[in-house]
Amino acid sequence: MRKIVAGLFISLDGVVEAPDQWHFPYYNDEMGAAVDASLGTADTLLLGRRTYDSFAGAWPEREAAGGEDAPFAKKLGDARKIVLSRRPLEFTWRNSEQLRGDVVEAVTALKNEPGGTIGMSGSISVVRQLLAAGLLDELNLLVHPIAVRTGMRLFDEGEPPIPLTLVSAQPFATGVLNLVYAPAPPPAEAGYDDAKVHLPRS
């Protein structure tokens, strides 16, 4: 079964909206390597419509311009791009197609197809659905040392808890934390009586 990996820029207070407005001061070689590891190595990209529109409006031009970011732009262009949307779409970026129908059923079928890693970037509503359905294999959060204090957060209030396990943690020189999580079974029930045995004795 194929693996789905989602990479997100996120602030210290959980904001994931409009990272282009706050994350660039923290972008360094370490973050570039992390983004390439989670997105640049995928042979398939799974994107919501808004994220796709943003990517398609920028990366083809960057590839054609032949600048420093052209090699990464080419990787994205060469990858198979699958867009989740309820309305008909017209594509101008190569290797793009639309995934129709129920999200959980369609993505489950996609995971069962032959192929390599399926990468995601942004596409918050899709990430939420896949996490809730247990279809996301890895959540890579690049936690920035800034409280944005406005904008959409990764997790909605009022929804059931989603237990995760920490796979790896790496601090960057900028203060960004590269945290990789995977799904976990629900934690055992516990209360203060279970916790107090771990309190300092002196």
pLDDT in tens, 2-48: 999 999 999 999 999 999 999 999 999 999 999 999 898 999 999 99
Which pLDDT value is given to residue 87?
Answer: 85
pLDDT in tens, 73-124: 999 999 999 999 888 888 999 999 999 889 999 999 999 999 999 999 989 9
Strands of the 118-121 sheet, one edge to the other: 96-99, 80-84, 44-48, 118-121, 4-11, 138-144, 177-183, 164-171
Using CA atoms, how far residue 30 sits from 6, 72, 90, 142, in Å, is: 18, 15, 36, 11
User: Backbone phi, then psi, for 201, in 5-degree steps?
Assistant: -90, -10
Which pLDDT value is given to residue 181?
Answer: 98
pLDDT in tens, 99-110: 988 999 999 999
Distance CA 109, CA 100 (A): 12
Which pLDDT value is given to residue 21?
Answer: 96
Higher confidence at residue 160 or residue 169? 169
Handedness of CA 187, 190, 192, 196 (dihedral sign): negative
Distance CA 105, CA 94 (A): 25
The model carries a pTM of 0.93
Average pLDDT over residues 163-192: 96
How many domains is the chain partitioned into structurally?
Answer: 1
Range of the domain at 170: 4-198
Residue 190's pLDDT band, with cuts at 50, 70 and 90, is very high
Residues whose CB is less than 8 angstroms from the CB of residue 97 and which lie 6 or more positions away in sequence, other chains included: 80, 81, 82, 83, 91
Distance CA 200, CA 202 (A): 6
Which pLDDT value is given to residue 86?
Answer: 85
99 - beta bridge partners? 84
What's the CATH code of the domain at 121?
A: 3.40.430.10
Average pLDDT over residues 164-173: 98
Of 12, 32, 36, 35, residue with least CA distance to 22: 12
Tokens of 18: 């409009």
